[in-house]
Chains A and B, each alone.
Chain A
Amino acid sequence: MLISIVGLGVVLFLVFLRMPIALAMGLVGFAGYADIRGVRASISMVGRIIIDTSQDYGLSVVPLFILMGLFVNKGGLSKELYQVSYVFLGHLRGGLAMATIVACAGFSAICGSSLATAATMSKVAMPQMRKYNYDDSLSTASIAAGGTLGILIPPSVILVIYGLLTETSIGKLFIAGIIPGLLGVVLYLVAVRYTIIRNPKAGPAGERSSLVDRLQALRGVWAVLLLFFIVIGGLYGVLNIWPLNLTFSPTEAAGMGAAGAFLIAVSRGKLNFSKTLQVLIETVQTTAALFAVLIGAWIFSNFVNMAGLPEALRFLVSSAELSPMLVMLMILVIYLVLGCVFESLSMLLLTVPIFFPLVTSLGFDPIWFGIIVVVVTEISLITPPVGLNVFVLKGVIGDVSTATIFKGVTPFWIVDIIRLALLVFIPSIILYLPNSML
């Protein structure tokens, strides 16, 4: 118990010294394991993990989904998504902010990263909202909040990693993210509405678009919507219509998504050889960085398990006679605090090996816990004073102060907490869809 807490402390120390997280976790995991079982056993464990992880079939999902996101992005989707949301919502008061939320949700259906969603959408949505004299705090907040949907609405890199780490079905995790994601969209729209009611000048109405404009805008996105439907439908198993057997494993779904996105971008003339190469290079490098962290996390997790931290925690909880829900709330608070400091994925990798055994032994559903963890991570991305999404936005936009963004984000943060409470106390919101899968 003590040694793993010391180990955790050392990891945090090294990570704050800017050591790559992968190596910090790997080094501490190796040293700790060596302390318990000897250096030879430890180096064997490390070698095994490196070889096995780098050839793990399940992990092939990761590069393929990243690739899909980048291809779709190159195809110019972010603009078109915003255009569609705008022609349908722009004429409402606060409509542009609402359009931003919806476009973010659409974008995150392709892209698995919150920070990337926020960074991309800010380039498209911000100029429009400036044009219509939107209050900076509302426009930036809607982008920052909308961006957080990226890691919940499938496909989500974080859910893939959670699934692999805990041996939970990735397909089910994806499907489980859909309703909470949509709930997030609805509640964010409520938050926009609330902001407008309090300050009508924050978001004046735009012009109403004609039916022709609306149909035209839809033409720009139908292919990508179809792609999303095929990928997620195949995963869920609804496309299994004779004579076609289109039920996908996560890897197959990701492969279909990437290839489909590639074909869409090529057919629109948005990809040439050098752009394709760029996308491929960016994907492999992102993938390699992710895998490095994953390998480090596995080494660290082996050490933590060997040191008996999960058992010790379980013992602590049972001897203190805490109710499971209280323990869960404590875990959520820890996530909320850590999420403000850590990049989401590293936080997940560091904490899941410790909490997951405890959580499942208390009788919580592994899929439910995965979604809850992701929702809490989303919230921490916009939590003052250190929410990462806010800083990304500040980096991309420049001339808005973080205080302004945080001010605007407050209503969004509050509805997020409401959503979290709903999900925690009514688990079937999360579990209904995955449990209805074949």
Chain B
Amino acid sequence: MNKLEVRKPSSEAAWDMSFRQTGFWRYIAVLPTWLAASALFILMTMTFADVILRSLFGNPIESATELTRLLIAIIVFSSLPIISWKGNNIVVDLLDPLFSRRLAIIRDIAIDMTCGVILIWPAKRVWELAERARGFGDVTEYLNLPQHYIGWFIAVFTFLTALTFLARAILLILSAVKGPV
């Protein structure tokens, strides 16, 4: 069943990750999570304020559309490494019963490895596109923010997601070598 919808509404588990981690790693994981959460809260408040200002005072927030785009990118990409680490990507686990435990571990290692490796190219490509935008000095329409900042952000977090998948694969290999999990 897919993880996305089935996850219980009460999710104290939002903090947990399937691999145990020490304090240091916890902080590493918490920072982007908070960044994404704040971005979402700002998005909600801003949209609300925009509608109220527009409908009551005929005075909308002009840069709202632009900020919305920016916030969406932050929300999505700062969360990707963490959901990948927790294995919360949408998967089909219909055939799970067909895999033995050993086979499942081998399968998971192969999948995580593949995912990690194939994500490196898009990360590189997005970085190149950001550099190109920097070269042209592209800025956004209302706020004059340099376009390449968001490109860098997306590239870095795609790259981190790739690393996360690879780290998962390595941890799986280590724990498989050490003996039954």
**Chain A interface category by residue count:** 35 or more
Q: Please, what's the 1-or-0 string for A328-357, where 1 marks a CB less than 8 Å from any CB in chain B? A: 000000000000011101100000000000
| Whole-angstrom distance between the Cβ of B47 and the nearest chain A Cβ | 3
Residues of B within 8 A of A16 (CB): 92, 94-95
Whether B111 and A64, one on each chain, are in contact in the complex, defined by CB atoms closer than 8 angstroms, is no
Whether A18 and B96, one on each chain, are in contact in the complex, defined by CB atoms closer than 8 angstroms, is yes
Q: Given that A19-B111, A46-B125, A288-B80 are contacting pairs, would A391 and B1 also be in contact in the complex, using a CB cutoff of 8 Å?
A: yes
Q: Given that A43-B121, A280-B40 are contacting pairs, would A285 and B79 also be in contact in the complex, using a CB cutoff of 8 Å?
A: yes
| Stretch from B2-10, B20-28, B172-180 forming part of the interface with A | B2-10
| Whole-angstrom distance between the Cβ of A63 and the nearest chain B Cβ | 6
Whether A280 and B2, one on each chain, are in contact in the complex, defined by CB atoms closer than 8 angstroms, is no
A291 close to chain B: CB less than 8 A? yes
Whether B122 and A46, one on each chain, are in contact in the complex, defined by CB atoms closer than 8 angstroms, is yes
Contact check: which of B47, B55, B89 meets A255 at CB < 8 Å? B47
Q: Please, what's the 1-or-0 string for A279-306, where 1 marks a CB less than 8 Å from any CB in chain B? A: 0111111111111110000000000000
Residues of B within 8 A of A286 (CB): 4, 7
The B contact surface, by secondary structure, is helix
Whether A288 and B75, one on each chain, are in contact in the complex, defined by CB atoms closer than 8 angstroms, is yes
A244 close to chain B: CB less than 8 A? yes
Whether B115 and A119, one on each chain, are in contact in the complex, defined by CB atoms closer than 8 angstroms, is no
| Whole-angstrom distance between the Cβ of A267 and the nearest chain B Cβ | 15
The chain A residue with its CB closest to the CB of B75 is A284
Whether B75 and A64, one on each chain, are in contact in the complex, defined by CB atoms closer than 8 angstroms, is no
B139 close to chain A: CB less than 8 A? no
B41 close to chain A: CB less than 8 A? yes
Whether B37 and A280, one on each chain, are in contact in the complex, defined by CB atoms closer than 8 angstroms, is yes
Residues of A within 8 A of B46 (CB): 255
Q: Please, what's the 1-or-0 string for B26-69, where 1 marks a CB less than 8 Å from any CB in chain A? A: 00000001101111110111111011001110100000010011
Contact check: which of B55, B83, B91, B129 meets A285 at CB < 8 Å? B83
Q: Please, what's the 1-or-0 string for B100-122, where 1 marks a CB less than 8 Å from any CB in chain A? A: 00000001100100110011011
| Whole-angstrom distance between the Cβ of B95 and the nearest chain A Cβ | 5
| Whole-angstrom distance between the Cβ of B61 and the nearest chain A Cβ | 12
Residues of B within 8 A of A259 (CB): 44-45, 47-48
Residues of A within 8 A of B40 (CB): 63, 67, 280, 283-284, 287
| Whole-angstrom distance between the Cβ of B8 and the nearest chain A Cβ | 7
The chain A residue with its CB closest to the CB of B4 is A289
Whether B37 and A54, one on each chain, are in contact in the complex, defined by CB atoms closer than 8 angstroms, is no
Whether B1 and A290, one on each chain, are in contact in the complex, defined by CB atoms closer than 8 angstroms, is no
B158 close to chain A: CB less than 8 A? yes
Whether B88 and A246, one on each chain, are in contact in the complex, defined by CB atoms closer than 8 angstroms, is no
Q: Given that A43-B121, A258-B44 are contacting pairs, would A343 and B92 also be in contact in the complex, using a CB cutoff of 8 Å?
A: yes
The chain B residue with its CB closest to the CB of A116 is B5
Q: A119-B9, A259-B48 are in contact. List 4 more A-B contacts (CB 8 A).
A: A16-B94, A115-B1, A290-B4, A391-B1
Can you report 10 A-B residue pairs in the complex whose CB atoms are below 8 A from each other? A16-B92, A18-B108, A20-B115, A26-B122, A55-B70, A256-B48, A277-B34, A280-B41, A281-B37, A293-B90
Give B contacts to A, CB under 8 Å: 1-9, 11-12, 14, 33-34, 36-41, 43-48, 50-51, 54-56, 58, 65, 68-73, 75-80, 82-84, 88-96, 107-108, 111, 114-115, 118-119, 121-122, 125-126, 128-129, 150-151, 154, 158
